């Protein structure tokens, strides 16, 4: 499995961060300019398969990734996401954390954020 995994042997052009436990990659299919992925070096399928040390390293790497994105782009906000399991939409079964820069106006109404995967459940607030 690891031989065909795009995150086990990433394109060096994608790599922006390397630590003992984590590799930071620019997403090959970015949702927005600066979309980054944080990947544990060890091939594990999902968030709950990673060790506590790996999860802590991934969380710490979010700050580094944010700084790298800010060096290149001027996002107004960020979404952080993990698809853990096929029913959650995971298609590459090597854990990866998305850090997606968001830009004012990239969606007509961004309220609801990640809840928009179920559009009928995204609007949980009362309109004034």
As annotated, the active-site residues are 96
- pLDDT tens-digit profile of 56-114? 999 999 999 999 999 999 999 999 999 999 999 999 999 999 999 999 999 888 888 88
Look up the pTM and report it: 0.90
95 strand-pairing partners: none
Domains of the chain, with CATH numbers?
2-104 (3.30.428.10)
60 strand-pairing partners: none
Averaged pLDDT of the chain: 91
pLDDT of residue 112: 80
Backbone CA torsion sign across 36, 39, 41, 43: negative
- pLDDT tens-digit profile of 23-34? 999 999 999 999
Percent of the chain predicted with pLDDT > 90: 79
């Amino acid at each position: 499995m690891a031989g065909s995994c795009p995150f086990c042997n990433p394109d060096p052009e994608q790599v922006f961060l390397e630590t003992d436990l984590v590799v930071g990659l620019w997403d090959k299919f970015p949702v927005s300019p600066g979309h980054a992925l944080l990947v544990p070096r060890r091939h594990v399928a999902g968030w709950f398969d990673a060790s506590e040390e790996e999860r802590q390293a991934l969380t710490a790497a979010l700050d580094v990734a944010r700084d790298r994105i800010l060096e290149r782009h001027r996002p107004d906000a960020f979404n952080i996401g993990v698809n853990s399991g096929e029913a959650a939409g995971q298609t590459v079964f090597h854990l990866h954390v998305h850090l997606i820069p968001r830009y004012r106006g990239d969606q007509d109404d961004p309220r609801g954020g990640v809840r928009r995967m179920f559009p009928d459940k995204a609007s949980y607030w009362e309109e004034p």
